[in-house]
Amino acid sequence: MNMTRLGEFLDARSINKAEVARKIGTSNQRLNELTKNPGAHLRASEVYLIAKAIGTDPCELLDYVCQDLK
């Protein structure tokens, strides 16, 4: 299954996406889009809220999802 970098990050840590969506106040549909659709635009506020919801440093998550940027 194709996943975005965010999807890979959450999957590698066995994170429940529905629980994350609930914690950050977004829909399951939006979180699924962010984890499966490379064309989805991940906002900085979403990176921050997702990181806090899963107990990860926001900088670590940002570094991971943006590692391909030059």
Per-residue pLDDT of 41-67, as tens digits, reads 999 999 999 999 999 999 999 999 999
What does pTM read for this prediction?
Answer: 0.92
Topology of the domain covering 5-65: 434 Repressor (Amino-terminal Domain) (1.10.260)
Sign, Cα dihedral of 16, 18, 19, 24: positive
For residue 29 the two structure tokens come to 């549909």
Q: What is the pLDDT of residues 1-51, one digit of tens each?
A: 689 999 999 999 999 999 999 999 999 999 999 999 999 999 999 999 999
Using a 10 angstrom Cβ sphere, with 0-12 exposed, 13-18 middle and 19 or more buried, the burial of residue 13 is: exposed
